[in-house]
Amino acid sequence: MPELPEVETIRRGLAARLTGARIEGIEQRRAALRFPLPERLAARLVGRRTVGFDRRAKYLLASLDDGWTLLLHLGMSGRLVLDGPPRGPHEHLTFRFAGGTVLRLVDPRRFGAVDLWPSGRLGEHPLLRGLGFEPLEPGFDAALLQGLLQVRRVALKSALMDQRLVVGVGNIYANEALFRDRLSPRRLALTVGPERAARLARAIREVLEAAIAKGGTTLRDYVQANGELGSFQNDFLVYEREGEPCPACGRPIRRIVLAGRATYFCSRCQR
Ligand SMILES: [Zn+2]
């Protein structure tokens, strides 16, 4: 599943290639993905120019010159592919831009979403309005994170992955950030004090930014906007490293299941 670093990588790729580009043609091959596609989608998009590409959590937001925003979510298996040949039966939507650039939305499992929404009211969109804080925004600091955690009587890792609190900290990045701050994933969220919260906020940002710098994680069937593969999985310290020595103390990394998700940690270093 594309995570925040992958989506941010795609956003940057799209912004670099397509900001200001005019949509010349749309080919739509399905009426619905996870939800019905907007009515008259092609008619509403053809002739429009993109103004900018933003991101909220894992939603890509392409603002258009008519005051509307095209919202894209890649679901479980979605990919956006720039140029290259057609991608077969799972290519559900094709954008043709002036100058010849082609953008293909490919989504075998069809959990993705496409919508059009007024740009000035994006915060009211049903998929966006309940979302928590952006960990890469400047306001994400110790006080904010501790405030979110201090009332949560749940495992710290589960709280970090709760999209109503903080968006985009998926399973991989929660595991990696907790190891970097030497915090146990099983510790109750409300036991994290101000100093640990400051280090944890920094660790979350660092692990996400490191993944973005490597072009995302690319675990399986995923290609980023320029068609290259990300390589952050080579830098995992604990994720999917059960039994391998802890990079800090040498003890074997443990794997447990916490709230249904595979959890990797060092029981000596992480408290
Ligand atoms: Zn250790």
Decide if 129 is catalytic. no
Catalytic residue among 55, 58, 79, 214: 58
Same domain flag for 104 and 167:
no
CATH number at residue 107: 3.20.190.10
Residue 217 is predicted with a pLDDT of 59
For residue 250, with 0-12 CB atoms within 10 Å meaning exposed, 13-18 middle and 19 or more buried, which class applies?
A: exposed
pTM, full prediction: 0.88
Report yes or no on 253 lying in a domain: yes
Same domain flag for 182 and 239:
yes
DSSP assignment, residue 269?
T
Residue 77 is predicted with a pLDDT of 84
Decide if 108 is catalytic. no
Q: How many structural domains does the chain have?
A: 2
Same domain flag for 188 and 111:
no
Same domain flag for 81 and 164:
no
The rounded Å distance from CA 234 to ligand 1 centre is 19
Beta pairing, strands 50-56 & 79-82: unpaired
Residue 220 is predicted with a pLDDT of 39
CATH number at residue 223: 1.10.8.50
Same domain flag for 155 and 110:
no
Decide if 3 is catalytic. yes
The rounded Å distance from CA 246 to ligand 1 centre is 5
Write the CA distances from 238 to 80, 97, 150, 189, 261, integer angstroms: 29, 42, 26, 20, 14
The rounded Å distance from CA 230 to ligand 1 centre is 27
Domain boundary among 74, 91, 124: 124
Report yes or no on 170 lying in a domain: yes
Residue 221 is predicted with a pLDDT of 38
Catalytic residue among 109, 205, 261, 268: 261
Decide if 261 is catalytic. yes
Same domain flag for 11 and 119:
yes
The rounded Å distance from CA 248 to ligand 1 centre is 5
Report yes or no on 133 lying in a domain: no
Report yes or no on 134 lying in a domain: no
| Tens digit of each residue's pLDDT, the chain (271 residues) | 788 988 998 898 899 899 999 999 999 999 999 999 999 999 999 999 999 999 999 999 999 999 999 999 999 888 898 888 999 999 999 999 999 999 999 999 999 999 999 999 999 999 999 999 999 999 999 999 999 999 899 999 999 999 999 999 999 999 999 999 999 999 999 999 999 999 999 999 999 999 888 776 554 334 444 445 566 777 899 999 999 999 999 999 999 999 999 999 999 999 9
Report yes or no on 131 lying in a domain: no
The rounded Å distance from CA 238 to ligand 1 centre is 10
Q: How far apart are the C-alpha atoms of 118 and 67, rounded to whole Å?
A: 6
Residue 219 is predicted with a pLDDT of 41
DSSP assignment, residue 245?
B
Report yes or no on 198 lying in a domain: yes
Domain, as residue range, for 168 = 148-265
Residue 27 makes CB contacts below 8 A (sequence gap 6+) with: 42, 93, 94, 96
The rounded Å distance from CA 172 to ligand 1 centre is 18
Report yes or no on 14 lying in a domain: yes
Report yes or no on 260 lying in a domain: yes
The rounded Å distance from CA 161 to ligand 1 centre is 23
Q: How far apart are the C-alpha atoms of 54 and 34, rounded to whole Å?
A: 22
For residue 201, with 0-12 CB atoms within 10 Å meaning exposed, 13-18 middle and 19 or more buried, which class applies?
A: buried
Laid out side by side, the sheet with 50-56 consists of: 50-56, 59-64, 68-73, 113-118
The rounded Å distance from CA 198 to ligand 1 centre is 21
The rounded Å distance from CA 252 to ligand 1 centre is 8
Same domain flag for 100 and 210:
no
